[in-house]
Amino acid sequence: MKLLAAIGRAFLGLLAAIGRIAIFAGQTLGHIVRGPFYLRELAISFLNIGWLSLPVVGLTSLFTGAALALQIYAGSARFSAEAVVPQIVAIGMVRELGPVLVGLMIAARVTSSIAAEIATMKVTEQIDALVTLSTHPMKYLTVPRVLAATIVVPLLVAVGDIIGIFGGYAVATGTLGFNPAAYIRNTLDFLELKDVVSSLAKGAMFGFIAALMGCYYGMNSGRGAQGVGSATKGSVEAAAVLILGANFVLTGVFFSI
């Protein structure tokens, strides 16, 4: 009986958390379409989330594309199908690995940073100070970050896709003996518009989730250093899980037959 009660409490807690996040997301969307807009904060968010994430996104994609080429080559050699390496690298990077890895890297780098920053602002009464200075915290802190991430993460995904494919290309032509021109032709011929669109749509959704979770956990953090730590940890966990869940849903939407 106690076990059932504990499961029930956990389930109700989960539903309540989902409800709170849904309300927060709704409020954020509401503020996105209504002014005032803080363009300086938006520009800073573009810089922090987009430009400064490029190195980690580039390196992650490069190594993933290169490893993918090696794996596909080794696997396909078992049934003499080595020629599929360019196509599988392209489809693997663009449809799945590019958006998911970029999403997870953004969750690690950006979500944690947003949550820690906003939680610290809350603990040090900076959020209260914003209110007393007639500035809505959601408009000033949440909207610029969520909007910037939703716009800029698809661009990061596009860059990640290209670098990942280049990683596969470099390994395939450098060590596996593929013809460079044929590799590029096979890659371009095999990719469809839907692959690219799905990749960018996933990027937008993952960016929205990553920034939203950072803001939500930051705004709702507990007191003191422990509160900031818990908010940061919770935001990354929630963002990573939601990104992977959303990836499954979006893959179903775009590619289920």
133 binds other proteins (CB under 8 A): yes
Site for other proteins in 176-235 (CB under 8 A): none
80 binds other proteins (CB under 8 A): no
Question: Which range touches other proteins (CB under 8 A), out of 66-74, 126-134, 170-178, 242-250?
Answer: 126-134
Q: How many residues bind other proteins (CB under 8 A)?
A: 14
The nearer residue to other proteins, 8 or 36, going by C-beta atoms, is 36
52 binds other proteins (CB under 8 A): no
Exposed e or buried b for every residue in 100-132, given b needs 16+ CB within 10 A?
Answer: bbbbbbbbebbbbbbbbbbbbbbbeeebeebee
**One of 132, 193, 252, 257 touching other proteins (CB under 8 A):** 132
- DSSP assignment of 211-242 equals HHHHHHHHHT--SHHHHHHHHHHHHHHHHHHH
**One of 12, 47, 124, 255 touching other proteins (CB under 8 A):** 124
Separation of CA 132 from chain center: 34
The nearer residue to other proteins, 80 or 132, going by C-beta atoms, is 132
CB of 37 closer than 8 Å to CB of 143: yes
Q: How far apart are CA 157 and CA 67, in angstroms?
A: 18
131 binds other proteins (CB under 8 A): yes
Shortest distance (Å) from residue 40 CB to other proteins: 9
**One of 8, 128, 180, 189 touching other proteins (CB under 8 A):** 128
Site for other proteins in 14-43 (CB under 8 A): 36, 38
CB of 231 closer than 8 Å to CB of 111: no
Shortest distance (Å) from residue 27 CB to other proteins: 16
Shortest distance (Å) from residue 132 CB to other proteins: 5
CB of 92 closer than 8 Å to CB of 192: no
Shortest distance (Å) from residue 226 CB to other proteins: 18
Q: Which two tokens stand for residue 76?
A: 């396909």
Q: Which two tokens stand for residue 109?
A: 């780098």
Q: What share of the chain is helix, strand, coil (3-state, %, to 5)?
A: 90, 0, 10
The nearer residue to other proteins, 124 or 175, going by C-beta atoms, is 124
Q: Which residues bind other proteins (CB under 8 A)?
A: 36, 38, 44, 121, 124-126, 128-129, 131-135
